Amino acid sequence: MMKIELTTIDDTNTAEIKNVLEYLETEKKSAIANGDEDKANNCWLNLASLDLNILFIKAFNNIKLKNYRQAWNELEQCEIKENYIRENSYKDHIAASRLDFIKSKISKWQSLYPYCLFCSPGFKVGYYSCSICGHKIRPRSRCEHKKGKVYNGQLCVHEVHDMEMLEISIVTKPAQKYSVMHDDSTLDFTLLEHLSSFLDNAFEDWNIRWTKMKFPIARFSSVSKEDKCPCKSDKTFEACCMAKNEVEIPHVDFLFSKPLPSDAENIVFPYDNG
């Protein structure tokens, strides 16, 4: 297989990458037609991995463009795809398709989002069926296919039938991350903005370290007692840190493997404006 460049958003749109995707689709179809299950599964694996890389690049690009909600949804899709690929993959493939890198970065990007409230719909499900053989799944009647495994080039999922929505609840740890309850215009995306401004592409390595930094109380003389406490506790200053000698403020360090541009070396994130 030829080597293809797939790093930037432009790379996701080249004739070369389209040819590779088409080639793999055609190969998969003929493998399925010929009953060559190993080959069909391998085509699925390569297609899914390319798809994941492309989606991850798109998510990164959307963070750069400040389309934070869209990037959030794409990161969640990446998370789901990455799980399926890993489940059907093997060691060498995982290394060659950047799976570990993408997995570790998805959760780190997500941790920099200010989202904390999600809606979670409760459903009543009539029944599930297997997407491979159509078998109606009942407690004592299952087919041979395992959910999340690839059979003959096709991912096995359980399809939901006769679904009824029961209620919607608001949760902090959602089953699906796309159901964000916030209005983005009211939120602070500074961390994402700062971090992405230092990265040229989705595959540059970086890390984060969450710490707390102590500041003398004198630094906060302009904060009035009814204001929210600068320690981010959500209490008022008076009810929280006003009587202390020092205020501990959450602080994040971004760690890069490449040198920063010299004009950015002195920047401090994110809450210290003193």
- Residues lying near Zn ion in the complex (CB under 5 A) are found at 130, 132-133, 135, 143, 145, 229, 231, 233, 240-241
Phi/psi at 195 (nearest 5 deg)? -60, -50
| 3-state SS assignment for residue 254 | strand
The contacts of residue 27 (CB under 8 Å, 6+ apart) are 39, 43
Closer to Zn ion by Cβ: residue 78 or 223? 223
Q: Which of 135, 136, 134, 130 is nearest to 149 (CA)?
A: 130
Smallest distance from Zn ion to CB 233, Å: 4
Percentages helix, strand, coil for the chain (3-state, rounded to 5) are 40, 20, 40
Q: What's the number of CA atoms in the CB half-sphere (13 Å) around residue 41?
A: 17
The contacts of residue 246 (CB under 8 Å, 6+ apart) are 214, 215, 216, 217
Between the CA of residue 99 and those of 41, 81, 84, 178, 203, what are the distances in Å? 17, 10, 11, 22, 11
Smallest distance from Zn ion to CB 81, Å: 21
Closer to Zn ion by Cβ: residue 4 or 133? 133
Smallest distance from Zn ion to CB 73, Å: 30
Closer to Zn ion by Cβ: residue 31 or 132? 132
Smallest distance from Zn ion to CB 143, Å: 3
The contacts of residue 28 (CB under 8 Å, 6+ apart) are 39, 40, 43, 44, 47, 153
Smallest distance from Zn ion to CB 154, Å: 11
Smallest distance from Zn ion to CB 132, Å: 4
Smallest distance from Zn ion to CB 137, Å: 8
Closer to Zn ion by Cβ: residue 85 or 241? 241
Closer to Zn ion by Cβ: residue 7 or 131? 131
Q: Which of 69, 49, 48, 74 is nearest to 59 (CA)?
A: 74
Closer to Zn ion by Cβ: residue 143 or 208? 143
Closer to Zn ion by Cβ: residue 96 or 133? 133
